[in-house]
A = this chain, B = another copy of it.
Amino acid sequence: MPDNDPMTAAPSPLSPADRPRLGLRERKKIKTREAIRAATYALVKEQGYDATTIEQIAERAEVSPSTVFRYFPTKEDIVLTDEYDQLMADELRGRPPGEPWMDSVRHVMRLAIEANNRENPDVARLRARLSVDVPAVRSRMFESMSTTGRLLREAIAERHGKDPDSVEVRVYAMSFIGGLMEVSMYWAEHDFEGELSDLVDRALDVLEHGLPIENP
């Protein structure tokens, strides 16, 4: 009856073991979801993305193929779905209002990278690599990008007292996301050398000031 379908909703994002009082049903759903994801990551690492079929995933996760599709609308979603966007948008909103915009952004990006590194660094890399190598995954990632863009433009609009649906805010938000996404691809293409945070810093500089020495 309630509006939000727990089947398609993501589980509580940053909760490792603290699932206090959930019904057996809910706990099972979370377990199933994680089983499907784990099976997928393992199979993709073994065989590659394209060679991995939903049937294999279902088999390893010990569920039926139907169930896989009930939990994830597409194969790409199994790999890519994450819950960080909303968290980052909230974090951004929570920064002190006096803080310069770019400082807030830097702060939040740093947090996100750290959290990701602490929790599941290999998954993050697998994702980045897949989004470079597999067109379908990349497409899905771009797609989620526009969702993120929507969140970001709300945060931006709120912060600057602007209309979130103006061309200006929308363009600004999307150009931001485009730039950040490129960083992730650059990082994957260069085999994850160096610190991601350094790359992000350089990207933010470009987003803030344009290309260095643009007008000598």
Name A residues whose Cβ lies closer than 8 Å to a Cβ of B.
100-101, 135, 138-140, 142-143, 145-146, 149, 156, 160, 162, 167-179, 181-183, 185-186, 199, 202-203, 205-208, 210-215
Apart from the given pairs A168-B206, A177-B178, 15 other A-B contacts in the complex at a CB distance below 8 Å = A100-B215, A101-B214, A138-B143, A139-B140, A142-B142, A167-B186, A168-B205, A171-B182, A171-B186, A171-B202, A173-B182, A175-B175, A175-B176, A178-B179, A178-B181
Whether A143 pairs with B135 at a CB distance below 8 angstroms is: yes
Whether A172 pairs with B179 at a CB distance below 8 angstroms is: yes
Tell me, rounded to whole Å, the shortest Cβ–Cβ distance linking A126 to chain B.
20
> What is the chain B residue whose CB lies nearest that of A160?
B211
**Which 4 A-B residue pairings sit nearest by Cβ, starting from the closest?**
A178-B178, A142-B142, A175-B179, A139-B139
Which residues of B have CB within 8 Å of A149?
Answer: 182
Which residues of B have CB within 8 Å of A170?
Answer: 182, 186
Q: Pick the contact of A202 from B139, B140, B168 — CB < 8 Å? A: B168
> What is the chain B residue whose CB lies nearest that of A168?
B206
Whether B171 pairs with A214 at a CB distance below 8 angstroms is: no
Which residues of B have CB within 8 Å of A205?
Answer: 168
Whether A146 pairs with B156 at a CB distance below 8 angstroms is: no
Residue from A178, A182, A199 with most neighbouring chain B CB atoms (10 Å): A178
Which residues of B have CB within 8 Å of A160?
Answer: 211, 213-214
Whether B168 pairs with A212 at a CB distance below 8 angstroms is: yes
Which residues of B have CB within 8 Å of A140?
Answer: 139
Whether A207 pairs with B139 at a CB distance below 8 angstroms is: no
Whether A181 pairs with B186 at a CB distance below 8 angstroms is: no
> What is the chain B residue whose CB lies nearest that of A209?
B210
Whether B214 pairs with A167 at a CB distance below 8 angstroms is: no
Whether A156 pairs with B211 at a CB distance below 8 angstroms is: yes
Q: Pick the contact of A142 from B101, B139, B179 — CB < 8 Å? A: B139
- Tell whether A167 pairs with B203 under 8 Å between CB atoms, given A160-B214, A177-B178, A179-B172: yes
Distance in angstroms between the alpha carbons of A156 and B202 in the assembled complex: 17
Whether B168 pairs with A178 at a CB distance below 8 angstroms is: no
